[in-house]
Structure 1
């Protein structure tokens, strides 16, 4: 499937910003099952200082603000050919050792609520059955809801709230999978929705490493493994390591962010 993506993030500040710096992980890579035909990033109100690969082999653009800006806009557009591989990404590559994907982070630390969830998961005949059962149990226990969308909720926070968005589902799945002995990681990217073109946020899911297949994706919020509607962009141990945009700025200006996104089949 040939997908086109147009993603705009606009920041407005109520006072001039003397200095700001952002890390942008918004460049998908070609890999088995995903061919990036073209991809461009434009920055209004700043400039790309340098591009590099991080420890997860994500392409990162470091963007600086022009001094005194009250608006910054980052726009990426591109076309990606995606093949349906039933969520199978393949074996680990890059610079990170496999054991690191079993290490908990501040957002993915297991607690008593996680253990209670794990007690309800029925192990299947093989790893895939078990991980799909885990995904289903999470969605049943934590229904999808946009009532909260904070970026800093831990897996225990999400279980306590009893609802969450795709980012929350990914954190709960990652935490549970690691507790069950599977290396797991967070994935940020895009999903072509069946019922709309316009969206107000990118998407997130999780991947677990299965010995016979390598990395396999699980979109807990939708109860499926990623197919040809998904564009993988960045991976990390949790959201903080794969966030599309993160950074810092000087000054006390209040920030207002708006996002517009279109993902459609060409």
Structure 2
């Protein structure tokens, strides 16, 4: 499937800032499931800095913007050819040990309810892969998809307690459940073209990957109750949403910030 992406992020300040620095993890991952046809990332009025590929295999690029600046706009335009690998991250080069993803964060803290959900979900499971699928299904059942009921700093335990959340909450809850059972798990940011039934979906998306010793990293998307397929574009990963964020930045000044994001994903007729 060939997908085109048009992603614009704008930061507006109510008072001019002295300058800003951005760290961008906005580049398609390189693995067997996707091939970048063209991809352009630009910070309007900014200066491109250095770039590198980190231990997790993600490309990170730095940008700086000299002030005074009242608005910072980050534009992504590209096209990716995707293939369904049944969620398996095959052909992805990275040097970080999977055990590094056993570390707990604030967002993935394991409450007693998280641990109970994890252990109950895998009762009778035949193997590790079956356990991972059962965990994803259990999270999907325990947390209903409901936009607007949580915020960027909601933890997995909080989302489970209220029984509602968005894809970020599903991913955090699944990661916490997996780690509670001794399975390395991580957060993945990217894009999703549409739901399996063709229904429109918020294009910026997140899911989780669980390490299965005999296979490798496998993606699970509790929000859509599936493994990532050709509708997904994978960008980067981390211990949680904060670490895997596609955009991180610092602005110098006293102005209050307002954020606006638009993402459009379309399929190219083949």
TM over 0.5: yes
Using the alignment, how far apart are the partners of 1:67 and 1:10 within structure 2? 16
Kept in 2: contact 1:108–1:174 (CA 8 A) = yes
Shift of 1:43: 1.3
Shift of 1:91: 7.4
- The equivalent of 2:219 in structure 1 is 217
Aligned-residue Cα RMSD (Å) equals 1.7
Cα 1:125–1:190 shift into 2, 3 Å: same
Which stretch shows the higher mean deviation, 87-96 or 131-140? Answer: 87-96
Q: Does 1:195 align with 2:199?
A: yes
- The equivalent of 1:83 in structure 2 is 83
Cα 1:60–1:92 shift into 2, 3 Å: closer
- The equivalent of 1:166 in structure 2 is 167
Kept in 1: contact 2:2–2:79 (CA 8 A) = yes
1:232 is matched with which residue: 224, 231, 234?
A: 234
- Runs (4 or more) in structure 1 with deviation over 6 Å come to none
Kept in 2: contact 1:35–1:82 (CA 8 A) = yes
1:250 is matched with which residue: 249, 252, 268?
A: 252
Kept in 2: contact 1:10–1:73 (CA 8 A) = yes
1:182-223: per-residue Cα shift (whole Å, max 9, x none)? Answer: 1111100010013348x4x51000000112211110001000
Using the alignment, how far apart are the partners of 1:254 and 1:5 within structure 2? 29
SS of the residue corresponding to residue 239 of structure 1 reads coil
- The equivalent of 2:25 in structure 1 is 25
TM-score, normalising length: structure 1: 0.94
Which stretch shows the higher mean deviation, 77-86 or 114-123? Answer: 114-123
Shift of 1:101: 1.2
Kept in 2: contact 1:91–1:213 (CA 8 A) = no
Cα 1:149–1:76 shift into 2, 3 Å: farther
Shift of 1:149: 4.0
SS of the residue corresponding to residue 148 of structure 2 reads coil
What are the residue-to-residue correspondences of 1:25-174 with 2, within 5 Å? 25-90=25-90, 93-123=93-123, 124-174=125-175
1:88-112: per-residue Cα shift (whole Å, max 9, x none)? Answer: 1137742212211112122212121
Q: Is there any run of 5+ residues in structure 2 with no aligned partner, and where?
A: none
Kept in 2: contact 1:24–1:246 (CA 8 A) = yes
Shift of 1:46: 2.0
Using the alignment, how far apart are the partners of 2:200 and 2:221 within structure 1? 18
Shift of 1:139: 1.3
- The equivalent of 1:15 in structure 2 is 15
Which stretch shows the higher mean deviation, 239-248 or 121-130? Answer: 121-130
SS of the residue corresponding to residue 146 of structure 2 reads coil
